[in-house]
Amino acid sequence: MAAASHNLNRSTFRLRLPTGLEIAAFCSFIFVVAPLVVVAGSALNADSMTFPPRSLSLKWMVMALTEGSFVNGAMVSLVVALVSASVSTLFALPVALVLRRMSPAVGRVLTLSFMGPLLVPSVIFALALYQVMMYIFGLTNLFVLMIGHIIITMPYPVRTITAVTENLDPALEDAASSIGATPWRTFLSITLPLIKPGVIAGFLFAFITSWNDFSVSIFLTPRELQPLPIKIYEYLLYQYRPIIAAVSTWSVIGSAIIVIAIDRLVGLNVFTGRRA
């Protein structure tokens, strides 16, 4: 009995070695998180842009919120992101509803076509977009920049709204129509409340994409109204101080908050078409 109990204790407390898949997952996690840790650590350095920080200070984090150039860039990015995300979501809403009523084969082809900006290398797509805009408008301004951002952000609300409509029961809309509700009334009272999480998630995805975009902005940005990523790029060309890491850290924090909100709304697996 004692020997059996001893063997049981040994098997219970035996150290389990990680599998190769777990090691690969952990290495991938470190590879993704490490640059963010370095940037955040550099932002907390009191003196210079080095990691690990020699002495901790929040002065650069505070200065990043008051530096005029970065504040102006953030305001431009905010306006462009809000307008682009709103317009792309409004355009994506009828597109997703039409795709829902099509045959699966046709729907997949059209959905793939709307994913075009995600399938082409961003620099190549941005260069092509610049050539088209110059051919049509002949110049770059804030309006042209917004058009470019609407195009590159539209795949996100199309995908999120489409994923939500896949689980929408058509019988609910048929029931509303059978009691005399107009199509517009049915949409406002039945369809929109049911797909609202996908609409909001698509808007937030589009907002993040527009806010962080560099490839399209570098081609279409007017000189007098530069968004934050372009401000950061131009600053790095001539200076290298921890304030740039602080600005990046604030941007990462804001993006992380939005991603958490999306996960709470519909789950981050919405792009696979599967709901949690």
DSSP per residue over 72-103, as a string? HHHHHHHHHHHHHHHHHHHHHHHHHHHHHHS-
Q: Give the CA distances from residue 147 to residues 58, 96, 134, 234, in Å, rounded to whole numbers and listed in that order.
A: 38, 20, 12, 23
Asked if residues 266 and 275 have their Cβ atoms less than 8 Å apart, the reply is yes
**Residues 6 or more apart from 270 whose CB is under 8 A from it?**
159, 160, 163, 164, 198, 201, 262
pLDDT score, position 84 = 92
Cα angle 205, 252, 164 (rounded to 5 degrees) comes to 20
Which residue did the predictor score with more confidence, 62 or 10? 62
**Averaged pLDDT for residues 49-61:** 77
Of 214, 224, 218, 219, the residue nearest 251 (C-alpha):
214
> Residue 269 — pLDDT band, cuts 50, 70, 90?
low
Q: CA Rg, the chain, in Å?
A: 24
> Residues of the chain with pLDDT > 90: what percent?
4
Describe the crossing of helices 142-153 and 155-165 by its angle, rounded to 10 degrees. 40
The whole-angstrom separation of Cα 200 and Cα 258 is 11
Residue 99's identity, in one-letter code, is L
Of 119, 156, 160, the residue nearest 274 (C-alpha):
160
**Averaged pLDDT for residues 9-25:** 67
Q: Which of 1-5, 45-49, 56-60, 99-103 has the highest mean predicted lDDT (pLDDT)?
A: 56-60
Rounded to two decimals, what is the model's pTM?
Answer: 0.77
Q: What does the pLDDT look like over 118-177, one tens digit per residue?
A: 777 778 888 888 888 888 877 777 888 888 899 889 888 888 888 887 777 677 766 777
Which residue did the predictor score with more confidence, 92 or 193? 92
pLDDT score, position 3 = 54
